[in-house]
Amino acid sequence: MNFVPQVATTEISDADLDNVSGGLAIGGSGGLCVETPIASVASDLLAVATPEGVTTGMAFHTAAH
């Protein structure tokens, strides 16, 4: 008796694979950090574009010395 599970495989097109894996996306990010004798200031920016729309995010951090 064979107890190994059987798995069926099939070919998938590139377009179908894009839909399964989340599709196509393009993104970018950047950051800036300035350190002074009084404090450190940092900011980050993120943008991601997909066929469904654009998502952006921004963060700003400060720390006193």
Q: What is the structure's pLDDT at 23? A: 65
Q: What pLDDT was estimated at residue 22?
A: 63
* 51-57 contacts, C-beta under 8 A, 24 or more apart: 51/23, 51/24, 52/23
pLDDT value, residue 46:
92
Domains of the chain, residue spans = 14-64
- What is the DSSP-derived secondary structure letter of residue 6? P
Q: Looking at the predicted structure, is the pLDDT value of residue 21 above 70?
A: no
Residue 20 has pLDDT above 80, yes or no: no
